[in-house]
A = this chain, B = another copy of it.
């Protein structure tokens, strides 16, 4: 019996194979970067070579693999895991994968709209520190981060090394206490033309969009971020429990 019912449309069978292969690629099964030949994959997945080819086409279109006639199929880009099990900065979570370097695209005081003030628990008229960074891992653009910081922890950042440090580590040094909890929203959006250019990705590329409000350990919200990760370069990994937290 095959993996997928051969009476089903090939596109459905290809999707099944692609999902299984995607996981193996992302988790580094093909350490040397070379995928097995189509015939071997066909045997392994109990699928026809045409189905395997269609599955590889899907993964190529995602930017995960490259296919060269006569050479075979190779892993095109590493996809890095961002820990979803605890609140981590990018350099922290990717420390074993390489060096994160940040380009500060903008930094200054702004008078934000109510949408920002409300989230940071600030009164009308208060100014905050805005920081915008393009973050690269091993030279490749990984994310574009738009950050609003309450003034007392944000202002000392003007004298800090933002190029080589996560904000989280710097903020904890300034505040004299660790961060506590963060609220998180994760979405998938298509890159608009300008964002795509900044991230050096194709227009329309799928981005993992994260909005994150981080609080100090004492509960005060201090750091509101809007982060666009390149979908072809990053995954988020974590655990969920069935019973509510604390039970």
**Which chain A residues have a beta carbon within 8 Å of chain B's beta carbons?**
1-5, 8-9, 11-12, 14-16, 19-21, 23-24, 26, 44-46, 58, 61-62, 79, 81, 84-87, 105-106, 108-116, 127, 130, 132, 146, 168, 178-190, 192, 194-195, 204-209, 211-212, 217, 226, 229, 231, 234-245
Contacts and interface: CB of A to CB of B under 8 A. Distances in A.
Copies of this chain present: 2
Given A86-B242, A194-B15, A113 B45 contact: yes
Contacts of A235: 185-187
B12 A105 contact: yes
A85 B183 CA distance: 10
Contact of A236 (B186, B212, B243): B186
A245 B23 CA distance: 25
5 contacts: A3-B110, A23-B185, A178-B242, A188-B189, A189-B206
A2 B110 contact: yes
A237 B185 contact: yes
Contacts of A190: 61-62, 190, 204-206, 231
Given A19-B211, A178-B242, 20 more contacts: A3-B110, A3-B111, A8-B106, A12-B105, A23-B115, A23-B185, A24-B115, A26-B187, A85-B240, A181-B239, A181-B240, A182-B241, A183-B238, A184-B238, A185-B237, A186-B208, A188-B208, A189-B206, A206-B206, A212-B240
A190 B183 CA distance: 26
Contacts of A23: 115, 185, 211
A189 B231 contact: yes
A87 B106 CA distance: 39
